[in-house]
Amino acid sequence: MYQWQTVAYQRLNADLSGVLGSKATRLSKVGWATAADLCEIVPRNYLSGSDSSDLSKVRVGDEVALALRVAGVRQSGRPPRFRLEATLTDGHNRIAAVFFGKRWLIDYWSTELGRGSHGIFVGKISRFRNSLQITHPQFVMLDDAGEVVGRGDKSDLISQVARSGLIGLYRATGGLPTWTIGAGIDVALQHLEGIPEPLPDWVVAAADVVPLGQAYQWLHQPDTLSQAVAGEERLRFNEALALSLVMAYRRAETNRQEAVPRPLHDASLVGRFDEALPYRITDGQAEVGGEIASDLASATPMHRLLQGEVGSGKTLVALRAMLQVVDSGAQAVLLAPTEVLARQHYLSLQRLLGPLLDEGLLAAGEVSVTLLTGATAAASRREALRDIASGDSQIIVGTHALLGKDVAFSDLGLVVVDEQHRFGVEQRAALIAGRTPRPHLLVMTATPIPRTVALTCFGDLQVSTLRELPARRAEVSTTLVNAVQSPTWLDRVWDRVREEIAAGRQGFVVCPRITGNSKGPIGLEAAVDDVAERLRTGPLEGLRIEVLHGQLPASEAAEIMDRFVAGDIDCLVSTTVIEVGVDVANASFMVICDADSFGVSQ
């Protein structure tokens, strides 16, 4: 067992079985193992016995705790089963609380419901004969002073409501109702009463937060909402501090590692590459390229995040970094999350390097680009692995297949990870961990990340941002079509798609699912197979439409993408397999169906 160094951390990490006894079993099954685990559960809301809930906001299926007045009580039924219906009101709307049982139970509940001016009722909302009701709710009745004067049964609800102040309501988890969770927290608070502050006083003062023991008390048993806010603020600070310390340790660990400096030199591959380009790189690309070049020239491994919108030129910046490393005699890897994107990168790098060969600025074999994915044929894979191990392949593009134990590099100098949010931390580190000296690392994303979030989530990385688009790139126009409120607008969407295709352009229709069947307008509850078929026989009839998704064989997916790039397909109906990095210059539109089904990063 770990020996904690302070009394505070010993008490915070006390096992729940020692704090709650047998009651800890149900809580530990949810994943709460210590006193601190319980006390750091944040209430989803607070309830005051003197307030009245708003019945207009409740929905069927909701687990609720409602403060309401009893407008009337009515008994019915016959032996052995009787029924009690209490009409509850918030002053404007009504809901029925229904109880079933033997006569003595019905009489008891009826008496208890009449003891107070109002009560708190806990249960699940259902519907009966087109009216909302709550069946067999737990309840307590309160007088005008807020004192408990009646109750439905003996339960944790009583101890929670009997306290003065606000009542914390917790999200039901693992079948545990809010009052059971609250009762466990009450005991944990008693265990932590008087706990020493675990952080230095100067840290607490500088952060302007309340001491931890007080924060727990205010969070779960506040007298006012301002106390609850202050308590939660302390917990948020603790999380931010812990994350910052982890990132600081990571930065320190990185700085302790050694890397081979890969400096630029006269007549470098990067200079020849820039000279052969048919256009001038942007000021932003030059600035970011300078930051990366400086990192690569250091004996400390680079750890840098490069972010920029689609079309901002991240691939070109990454290629210049890879050429700088190749120029020093080492290899560079570009890791992509999907086979479609890996293949696209492979073709893009070959296209970008083409002018070097055409103008005689690159000797044959000086820069060899190899593609390795899970779909690579056995014979081609063996050849690729041999070239990678011997160093004959200088730039290697691939997917997770590059993380295999059979992939050996001659001298790995740089790892570039595209769309880094699609990889886990372990996957991101797999190519660099355990290597001495360490390769340099550049991770890229097209997902906009605010600076504060970048510093929080990627605090172990230096951050560079491409903020301008190359002059040859047009601005992207985004239009929201609310298909529920204005379904006829979808007709105009498909008209615009046909207009773009008639002008010689191509594009994508992206769906969140592969299969499904929607009877509504095209684009609602969208699935690739259904949308493609309805477009072929409907608004896009006569056009060349194909589908692409992750369940297709890799060879078939590659063949479809090749045909799309060649201009043989007008519209590609796809899942998010094409969400990032697919670079088809002739594609001018993307229709995203059921956009609310996708995450922000997608």
Please spell the DSSP secondary structure of 300-346, one letter per residue.
SPPEEEEEE-TTS-HHHHHHHHHHHHHHTT-EEEEE-SSHHHHHHHH
Domain shared by 345 and 432, yes or no: yes
Provide the angle, in degrees to the nearest 10, between the axes of the packed helices 339-358 and 269-276: 80
In 3D space, the residue among 36, 366, 79, 31 whose CA is nearest the CA of residue 215 turns out to be: 36
Residue 91 belongs to a domain: yes
| Omega before 437 within 30 of 0, i.e. cis | yes
504 lies in the same domain as 457:
no
457 and 320: one domain? yes
pLDDT of residue 163: 59
Domain check: are 397 and 541 in the same one?
no
Output the pLDDT for position 370: 93
Q: How far apart are CA 525 and CA 531, in angstroms?
A: 10
Residue 499 lies inside a defined structural domain of this protein: yes
- Residue 435 shares a structural domain with residue 521: no
Same domain for 402 and 538: no
DSSP per residue over 481-545, as a string? Answer: --TTT-TTHHHHHHHHHHHHHHTT-EEEEE-SBSS----SSTTSS-BHHHHHHHHHTTTTTTS-E
pLDDT < 70 stretches in the chain: 1-4, 49-51, 145-146, 148, 153-165, 357-365, 420-429, 447-460, 470-474, 517-525, 579-583, 598-602
Domain termination site, one of 141, 164, 187: 164
Written as six digits, the tokens of 429 are: 């580190």
The alpha carbons of the chain give a radius of gyration, in whole angstroms, of: 32
CB burial of residue 343 (10 Å; 0-12, 13-18, 19+): buried
Structural domain total, the chain? 3
Q: How far apart, in whole angstroms, are the C-alpha atoms of residue 52 and residue 56?
A: 12
Residue entry with tokens 């210049």: 320
Range of the domain at 533: 489-597
Q: Is residue 368 part of a domain?
A: yes
The model's pLDDT over 435-485, given as tens digits with 9 standing for 90+, comes to: 888 999 998 887 666 555 655 566 667 888 888 776 666 677 888 888 777
417 within 8 A of 426, measured Cβ to Cβ = no
CATH number, position 131: 2.40.50.140
pLDDT given at position 75: 92
Amino acid at 512: P
Give the pLDDT score at 421.
57
Print the SS3 string covering 423-461: CCHHHHHHCCCCCCCCCEEEEEECCCCCHHHHHHHCCCC
Calpha distance 87→70 (Å, rounded): 6
CATH number of the structural domain spanning residue 290:
3.40.50.300
Is the C-alpha dihedral spanning 104, 107, 109, 115 positive or negative?
negative
User: Exposed (0-12), middle (13-18) or buried (19+): which is 256, by Cβ within 10 Å?
Assistant: exposed
pLDDT digits (tens, 9 = 90+) for 174-212: 778 777 888 889 889 999 999 999 999 999 999 999 999
Of 109, 137, 164, the residue at which a domain comes to its end is: 164
Give the pTM.
Answer: 0.65
Q: How far apart are CA 577 and CA 548, in angstroms?
A: 8
Residue at which a domain ends, from 115, 138, 164: 164
Q: Same domain, yes or no, for 515 and 399?
A: no
Do 565 and 530 lie in a common domain?
yes
- Measured between alpha carbons, how far is residue 387 from residues 380, 390, 410, 435 in Å? 11, 5, 9, 20
